Amino acid sequence: MQYNSKEVEERIKKKWETEKIPEKIINRKEGKKFYLLDGPPYVNASPHVGHIKTTTYKDVWGKFKFMQGFKVWFQPGFDCGGLPIENKVEKKFGIREKKDIYKIGIDKFIEECKKFAIGNEKEWMDMYKKIGAWRGYLAPYLTSENYYRESGWWAVKKIYEKGLLVPGEKPNFWCPHCETVLSGYEVTDAYRELKSPSIFITFKIKDKSEYLLVWTTTPWTLPANVALCVHPNEKYVKVETKGKKIIIAEKRLKFLDELSLQYKILDKFEGKKLDGLKYEPLLDIPLQKELEKTNNAHRIILSIPLMKKRVAGKIKEKKEVEGSDEFGHLVDISTGTGIVHIAPGHGAEDYTIGEYYGLPSPSPVDEQGKLKEETGIFKNLKIDEANKQISDYLESKDLLFYKTELMHSYPVCWRCKTPLIYRKSRQWFLKLGPLKKKILEEINSVKWLPDFVKEQYSNLVQNSPDWSIVRQRFWGIPLPIWICKKCKSLKIISSREELRKKSIEDLPEDFDISVSVVDNIHLKCECGGEMERESGIMDVWFDSGIAPFASLGYPFKNKDLFESLWHVDLIDESQDQIRGWFNSLMICGISIFGEAPYKTICTNGWTLDEKGEKMSKSLGNVIWAKDAYEEIGADVLRLHLCSTNAPWESLNFSLREAKIIKNNLNTLYNLVSFVKSYFKDSNKIIDIKELPDLWLLSKINSLVKEITEDMENFRFHHATRKTINFIINDFSRIYIKLVRDRAESEEVREVMLYTLKKVLKLLAPFAPFLSEDLYSGLFEKSVHLESWPKVDEDKINKDLEEKFEIGKEISGAINSERQKQNIRLRLPIK
């Protein structure tokens, strides 16, 4: 018979719905709890095979744990807020700038975001059902729902009360298009090769006809120049070239050589000799004139060692050594000129050294990335325009020594792909310094699969700055902070009920927690003034970071349920979530509850195309889930995703290779049909004596033992391969061949039924449709309501298994020789 996957899957799906199998699983009352938290994907596009891989892994965990007797909580969830949705709506309305949102109305914009956020929810849920994932039968949590956002307000207040949420003003990544701050983890993977100006400029030393040669790739930051920095212990030289006396690091004279310039060395000295030397402002603009009035601007400062990287205390996977902090001077003598332009308002390291020396930190760039009024002739210029005009200005003043362009890796917005800038702005920060020790302790209590992820995450935590936790946008959890316009005191609101009580306006009980609503709500301050809401929404990573409790509406509802589920037992997501969701979950867990929110983390590798290329719409190589499902079916798709390689390795997805799996399932289908042809009801206790029977009983129990361990340790690739190999080779090719002449015997029938009962259970988490079809056909029960197979230790005979392995090797060698001599397999050996 030919296995028809589509017919089987449609029939079994109807059977599940008719017999309410998912409902029975969801409503299990007995058993120890197992909280499998779904990392909420965005549903602003259709799912592709990468999404289905992660969904399959999570579903495998759920099915496996249920069969082990656990009461599994596996509610699906969807991320609905933030820039991914806003950018899509902007595109729909042709919005080019943030101010255009105000023109169409924030309330209308938010309403469109809401529609768009849940627009594809049905498609995703339908796909979950099609691939046999139980989560498709549960109502999902949505991060845009009021119950979820209210939990977020409660969490913000908890964090604030612990002194961890503080306002501050320092430079951060900023997107000029989205007009919002971004955090470093949103930028890590968002780099592109872009062309930037590369200019060498001369700063005139005060009261001397001598110049300091400086290199920069960001001319737009020169209006904010406050100091120049040199390495204290490196040698510098004064040379005469191109009619000027310039100072440059001795090791960077090669730059002049590369330009084929003639020069004469006039003096040589250590960098520390330049300390405190004053220079003239480079640009004739109001900001630079104001800085000139201060005592500590426009002077040379000495570079200090800055921590470049902190390495985790113990690197078990590579070598047993104590970790250490890696330091390096701000001035890198291997590039540029050895003299660095310092603009504390436009760079993280610049800001750090500026704090060290007590320097001012102007940041004369507005939210749209345009230079401000204080930049004089450069005001209102965008970054690219400013780069050009400032370069032209310096050239006209004979201060431009050399200019060119270079291609380098540059950070862009993770959503709109606009090049980012560093810009100082007032933000709310979640302080990580006080939490790091506790986080590092909790990391050791978590099981990491694979275990090398622990090292990666530990290093990430050690090097993480404070979390800029608010975004200057509209669609998300509104920041629940109200500030008095008169005395500047603040109130943190933790619930809708609290806001209703303290609001000047009358509010309905079910008012919407959205920016367009809460911005019109005011509070009365104790000083008699009026309080208005601080603008901004919570970072979307905060939204997903509170999922363990906010998905349940805790603490306002489901209190007992949450407390019975806490902690999350297992999370399974892609490797990029190490610095994304895994991190935000941990930070929120520690800052709110004082402990890690999860027990086990599984990390998945990327899903690439057949050639190993990243899937991209622009390249046209995306394999959509619906297309893969239509072509190969759910069970084949799931098995291909689970068996091709280790879950944490990148998977080159190939429909061509996936189809090979169907042949293996066809073998199983026919094997069961063969067994059915000899099927008879029997309750006899059979005494098994024949070696092939004893061998198969031993093999299946050894297999159960191995696969159970593989499953617990996320080795899905081993579990699937071993199961398929057992079915195809041990059961179908060897055992059936050995017992075909006595297939009607009770012993053989009982051995085959015993074996099939166990092997179909092993297969059930990976191929839920076919295993259900075959199991229910043989035993008239749903395999998914059965227990995970137990190991009958008394049936394991390793000595017998080893002897059969030797026999297989001999048989394999004989068959190989037959092929070489063109002797048909059916002909007997003489």
414 is catalytic: no
Q: Which of 134, 448, 581, 695 is catalytic?
A: 581
606 is catalytic: no
Residues 564/603, Cβ–Cβ less than 8 Å: no
**pLDDT over 70, % of the chain:** 95
pLDDT at 194: 87
Q: Looking at residues 488-512, what average pLDDT do you find? A: 95
Q: Which of 318, 611, 617, 684 is catalytic?
A: 617
537-562: pLDDT as tens digits: 999 999 999 999 999 999 999 999 99
- DSSP string for 245-274: EEEEEGGGHHHHHHTT---EEEEEEEGGGG
How many Cβ atoms sit within 10 Å of the Cβ of residue 785? 14
Q: How far apart are CA 422 and CA 369, in angstroms?
A: 10
Which stretches does DSSP call E strand in 176-292? 180-182, 191-204, 210-216, 227-230, 235-241, 244-249, 264-270
577 is catalytic: yes
604-646: pLDDT as tens digits: 999 999 999 988 877 789 999 999 999 999 999 999 999 999 9
581 is catalytic: yes
Q: How far apart are CA 710 and CA 725, in angstroms?
A: 15
Go through 583-609 and write b for each residue having 16 or more CB atoms within 10 A of its CB, e for each that does not. Answer: bbbbbbbbbbeeebbbebbbbbbbbbb
What does pTM read for this prediction? 0.91
354-395: pLDDT as tens digits: 999 999 999 999 999 999 999 999 999 999 999 999 999 999
318 pLDDT band, cuts 50/70/90, is very low
pLDDT at 755: 95
280-292: pLDDT as tens digits: 999 999 999 999 9
pLDDT at 805: 84
Q: Looking at residues 445-467, what average pLDDT do you find? A: 93
Q: Which of 541, 566, 695, 788 is catalytic?
A: 541
Residues 300/342, Cβ–Cβ less than 8 Å: no
- For the chain, domains (ranges, CATH) are 194-359+382-411 (3.90.740.10), 656-820 (1.10.730.10)
- Residue 440 pLDDT greater than 50, yes or no: yes
Q: How far apart are CA 121 and CA 81, in angstroms?
A: 14
95-110: pLDDT as tens digits: 989 999 999 999 999 9
Q: Which of 308, 388, 614, 803 is catalytic?
A: 614
Q: How far apart are CA 587 and CA 547, in angstroms?
A: 12
143-166: pLDDT as tens digits: 999 999 999 999 999 999 999 999
Q: Which of 22, 40, 171, 597 is catalytic?
A: 40
pLDDT at 744: 83
pLDDT at 308: 55
Choose among 660, 790, 783, 645: nearest CA to 714: 645
pLDDT at 323: 43
Coil vs helix vs strand at 468? strand
- Residue 324 pLDDT greater than 80, yes or no: no
Q: Which long-range contacts (CB under 8 A, 24 or more apart) does 776-779 make?
A: 776/15, 777/672, 777/676, 778/672, 778/675, 778/676, 778/679, 778/753
Q: Which of 288, 427, 462, 577 is catalytic?
A: 577
Q: Which residues on adjacent β-strands are paired with residue 245? A: 210, 240
765-822: pLDDT as tens digits: 999 999 999 999 999 999 999 999 999 999 999 999 898 888 777 777 776 777 777 7
CA 494 to chain centre: 28
- Residue 500 pLDDT greater than 50, yes or no: yes
- Amino acid at residue number 210: E
330-360: pLDDT as tens digits: 898 889 999 999 999 999 999 999 999 999 9
The structure tokens listed for 220 are: 């737009």
557-572: pLDDT as tens digits: 999 999 999 999 999 9
Q: Which of 79, 609, 730, 773 is catalytic?
A: 79
- Residue 313 pLDDT greater than 60, yes or no: no
User: Is the previous residue joined to 508 through a cis bond, with omega within 30 degrees of 0?
Assistant: no
pLDDT at 463: 86
Q: Looking at residues 755-770, what average pLDDT do you find? A: 97
Q: Looking at residues 122-134, what average pLDDT do you find? A: 95
Q: Looking at residues 401-420, what average pLDDT do you find? A: 89
344 is catalytic: no
- Residue 830 pLDDT greater than 80, yes or no: no
- Residue 314 pLDDT greater than 50, yes or no: no
Q: How far apart are CA 369 and CA 423, in angstroms?
A: 9
Q: Looking at residues 264-269, what average pLDDT do you find? A: 97
pLDDT at 681: 54
pLDDT at 189: 66
pLDDT at 321: 33
Residues whose CB is less than 8 angstroms from the CB of residue 709 and which lie 6 or more positions away in sequence, other chains included: none
Mean pLDDT computed over every residue of the chain: 92
- Looking at per-residue confidence, does 679 or 673 come out higher? 673
319 pLDDT band, cuts 50/70/90, is very low
Out of 59-63, 400-404, 687-691, least confident range: 687-691
Q: Looking at residues 412-435, what average pLDDT do you find? A: 93
617 is catalytic: yes
